[in-house]
Structure 1
């Protein structure tokens, strides 16, 4: 098993109606990635979709991927692509449950947003995940 130092919270920075297939095509075609950007995506109805086993490395945070698990909720921007915390109550509940489950498995892992990593210049996940989940 990999050493997990971080659990990174992301938003997809898309409409909440965007399909996972469209996101995966973007990663593959536009970014040239062989692996997904996240291990999990949380749908607006709270469904947690696994894209990659946590034993494998995803592409969520450059320079840190080997030591983290990447989780995203579908959404995170408004109609003009401006950052917006638009998590549904179901997404919030599923994200919290997933984080608690992962924290049990990796008790020393730090939970933080994508934006909290060094040299990251984006608003992702469009809320302060480090503060919101500091007691998980």
Structure 2
């Protein structure tokens, strides 16, 4: 079993309101040469949580952290002009908090991070440290 010590949150870097599925992200990631979707979970605009990679599999979502982390991606992250923005719906926020609570029960030692803590990106376009103190 993998030793998980981080939960890393991402955004899909898609415009506010655009519906994207885990299957679509899987297609994007395969086009980039990944074996499959890099995230373990995807949170849709309606708050639905889709499974990506199985938690037992190493993710492909954050260079240098994949083997010790679970990757969560919410759909959105850009305004209509393509600028970084917290576009999460209230349902996405609720689903994210519930999913993280469930993951913390499984991996109590895991700390919660935004992708931007490990890469020069705006992703996930909100302050994870402030939200998940």
C-alpha contact (below 8 Å) 2:77/2:84 kept by paired residues: yes
Q: Deviations over 1:56-100 (max 9, x none)?
A: 111110111000000010101112221010100000000000001
The residue that corresponds to 2:88 in the other structure is 87
The residue that corresponds to 1:123 in the other structure is 122
Q: TM-score, normalised to structure 1's length?
A: 0.91
Q: What's the offset of the Cα at 1:20?
A: 3.2
Q: How many residue pairs were aligned?
A: 131
The residue that corresponds to 1:113 in the other structure is 114
Paired residue secondary structure (2:14): coil
Gaps of 5+ in 2: none
Q: TM-score, normalised to structure 2's length?
A: 0.93
Matches within 5 A, 1:46-61: 46-61=47-62
The residue that corresponds to 1:6 in the other structure is 6
Q: Which runs of 4+ in 1 moved over 6 A?
A: none
In 1, Cα distance between equivalents of 2:129 and 2:58: 22
Gaps of 5+ in 1: none
In 1, Cα distance between equivalents of 2:21 and 2:99: 21
The residue that corresponds to 1:63 in the other structure is 64
Paired residue secondary structure (2:77): coil
